[in-house]
Chains A and B, each alone.
Chain A
Amino acid sequence: MQKTLLKLTAVSALLLSLASPQAFAEGKRILINGAGATFPYPIYSKWFSEYSKVVRPGVEFNYQSIGSGGGIKQISARTVDFGASDAALTNEQLRSAPGKLLHIPMVGGAVGVTYNLDGVTGRLNISPEVLAGIFLGQIKRWNDPLLMADNANANLPSAEIIVVHRSDGSGTSNIFTDYLSSVSPEWKQKVGKGTSVSWPAGLGGKGNEGVAGTIKQTPDSLGYVELAYGEKNNLPFFAIKNKAGKFIVPSLEATTAAIEGKANDMPADFRVSLVNPDGETAYPIAGLTWILLYQKQLDGAKGQEMVQFLRWAVHDGQKYTKDLLYAPLPQQIVAAIDQRLSEIQIKS
């Protein structure tokens, strides 16, 4: 079926080129197709529109935010020019792809833990083992001694903690369960990490809005949402104890600090989990989002434009991140990305 699809695309491309020989000859319009993650969709669409409007008119992007899983499937089947994912590909997925796939980090994001507690003001703190205990269903009440120990001044009620998690498969859940797996051996063994897992406790909400809505409507509840979504909706967030032992409030700066914390042991293919990084100011539940493309670009013109766009996005494009509540990439990572981009082979 893919072959027929390819043939069809080839035939229609041929017809198109016959229909508008002028545009084709001048190389005026190039359409680059991509598909994948929903999390970076706002920044990607901002980049695509700025890039085609200001930087390089004539290069257009068509991005379908169908989810990371879909993005991986589509780029592996070569039905798109680039994929996008919040989860790095597994070794098995990389092997089954028809060519060598590169991961290019674009921006960082964080996952915040929010709550609904009446009468509790001020910042609440939480330690990793307590968070894992709550999501494992072992710490059941707000006034649990472990939770009280982190919040000496807060007047925590004796009510039952109602856990809320994502019910749809998502990169947010992937980052969050990755974090719990890294801080709790019991979580790693019983549940593990993934875009959807078998949750030991709690209610499931569909999407960030489903989780936030459920928390808002359920007294004494607790759950995790994307930082950007929570900030836009003024949700209260826990400060979470990082590897250095400091309680860190989620923010863009703390997320960038988390990326910096991993910069030293960043592998050459950028497939790194950002959770629980080093660094005094790093927020521990953070993740990268990647664009996936083949190292050997079969379509010369498209490959050229794609690389040029990526270079722009990790340099000039980063200035748009803050307004849209994404964490920009730190300098040393950008330098490493430039190196990788220069190694892409473009068929002439």
Chain B
Amino acid sequence: MTNEIPFKKIWWEDPLFKSSTAFLAWFVFGLSVLLVFILGKFSLPSIAQFGLHFFSSTEWNPVTENFGALPFIYGTIVSSLIAILIAVPLSLGVALYLSELGPMWIRNPLNFLIELLAAIPSVIYGLWGIFVLVPFVRKYVEPFLSACFGFHPLFQGPMYGIGMLSAGIILSIMIIPTISSISREVFSLVPASLKEGAFAIGATRWEMIRLVMLPYGRSGVLGAVILGLGRALGETMAVTMVIGNRPDIAISLFAPAHTMSSVIANEFSEATTSLYAASLMEIGLALLVLTLALNILARMLVWSFYGKAKGTRA
């Protein structure tokens, strides 16, 4: 008899717990479905008006209400690519130093300081960008690139400081803490026995890193890069302050450009006509799709490296 009381109490608790957690999980999923639905619904006028032409047109004219998203898509992708190109090698260096090479006493304080970079609000990055980074890029970085690689159209044209290059640089600084701190975690998980094994067969430290740590951490590092890319794609304030906000597709990285998130932030509050607002909504929808597509692509990349069976940390 006495044993039955606690037993009876428990029988409905488990199902209740299960169904409430299931509800919460589906609730969040439902929210994102609703988000896509609402974005789609509000962009209908623009979809009906421009169709697929919206994604191939380079004209953005609020006066004549002729809208095309290509320059914004281009700006978002290119600025994020520049950010990844700069941030990944830097972050891997940081992560390896902090997990393997640096003296013990410096690792934690340095790691803390780098992670602190992630806590700086993006508008502060933007202000710093316009007052410090932009003049620096104009006076030193762009003349240097133009002198060394000026034969290539990527590095030609007038040097304003403000433009695609500055946007890429500021984004790279913003995503370094994300990529480096996750990569550091990943590297610290490499089993000591593997590392010692490499040393035991005569590997130098560099060979050990190259042959053991990098392959072991590959999927985790890729996961870190995906997170960093996600932040770079969606970043708005810092980018809009240094990119020049010009909806043009220019080959030169020195030229001003525009991104999907910054055009929404810039123009939505004064988008009075329904077609104008709908076009901005459609850019939002396209940004969501673009982010999703890049994430899926990266996830597939991880799987192809590592194999699904072993399970991934990404």
Contacts and interface: CB of A to CB of B under 8 A. Distances in A.
Nearest to A192: B63
B246 A203 contact: yes
Interface stretch (A13-21, A63-71, A146-154, A331-339): A63-71
A204 interface: yes
B305 to A, nearest CB: 40
A296 interface: no
A203 B267 CA distance: 15
A15 to B, nearest CB: 29
B134 A217 contact: yes
A206 interface: yes
B158 interface: yes
B158 A160 contact: yes
A203 B158 contact: no
Nearest to A199: B246
A315 B247 CA distance: 45
A103 interface: no
A72 interface: yes
Given A197-B62, A214-B130, A217-B135, A205 B267 contact: no
A73 B269 CA distance: 10
B255 to A, nearest CB: 10
A199 B241 CA distance: 17
Interface in A44-81: 66-70, 72-73
B131 A167 contact: no
A73 B130 CA distance: 34
Given A162-B160, A203-B245, A213-B130, A168 B266 contact: yes
Interface string A152-180: 00000000101000011110000000000
A202 B248 CA distance: 11
Interface in A234-275: none
A210 interface: yes
A45 to B, nearest CB: 18
Determine the interface band of chain A, counting residues with CB < 8 A from chain B: 20 to 34
Given A167-B240, A198-B60, A206-B241, A218 B271 contact: no
Contacts of A168: 265-267, 269-270
Given A169-B266, A206-B245, A218 B162 contact: yes
B106 to A, nearest CB: 36
A198 B266 contact: no
A213 B162 CA distance: 11
B173 to A, nearest CB: 18
B130 A198 contact: no
B270 A204 contact: no
A169 B246 contact: no
B225 to A, nearest CB: 29
A313 B130 CA distance: 39
B25 to A, nearest CB: 28
Contacts of A167: 240, 245, 262, 266
A196 B270 contact: yes
A224 to B, nearest CB: 15
A194 interface: yes
Most A CB contacts (10 A, CB to CB) among B262, B269, B272 go to: B272
Contact of B256 (A193, A204, A217): A204
B63 A191 contact: yes
Interface string B176-199: 000000000000000000000000
Contacts of B312: none
A192 B266 contact: no
A289 interface: no
B61 A69 contact: no
Given A72-B272, A169-B266, A206-B245, A198 B63 contact: yes
Contact of B246 (A69, A204, A210): A204
A125 interface: no
B269 A66 contact: yes
B161 A204 contact: no
Nearest to A173: B270
B64 interface: yes
30 contacts: A67-B270, A69-B271, A70-B270, A168-B266, A168-B267, A168-B269, A168-B270, A169-B267, A170-B270, A192-B64, A194-B62, A195-B62, A195-B272, A197-B63, A198-B59, A198-B63, A203-B162, A204-B245, A204-B266, A205-B241, A210-B130, A213-B127, A213-B130, A214-B130, A214-B162, A217-B131, A217-B134, A217-B135, A218-B134, A218-B162
Interface of A: 66-70, 72-73, 93, 160, 162, 167-170, 191-199, 202-206, 210, 213-214, 217-218
Given A196-B267, A204-B245, A213-B241, 18 more contacts: A66-B269, A69-B270, A70-B270, A168-B269, A192-B64, A194-B63, A197-B61, A197-B62, A198-B61, A198-B247, A199-B246, A203-B256, A204-B256, A206-B241, A206-B265, A217-B130, A217-B134, A218-B161
Interface of B: 59-64, 127, 130-131, 134-135, 138, 158, 160-162, 240-241, 244-247, 256, 258, 262, 265-272
Please provide the 9 A-B residue pairs with the shortest distance between their CB atoms, ordered closest to farther. Answer: A169-B270, A204-B245, A167-B245, A67-B269, A192-B63, A198-B61, A69-B270, A69-B272, A168-B266
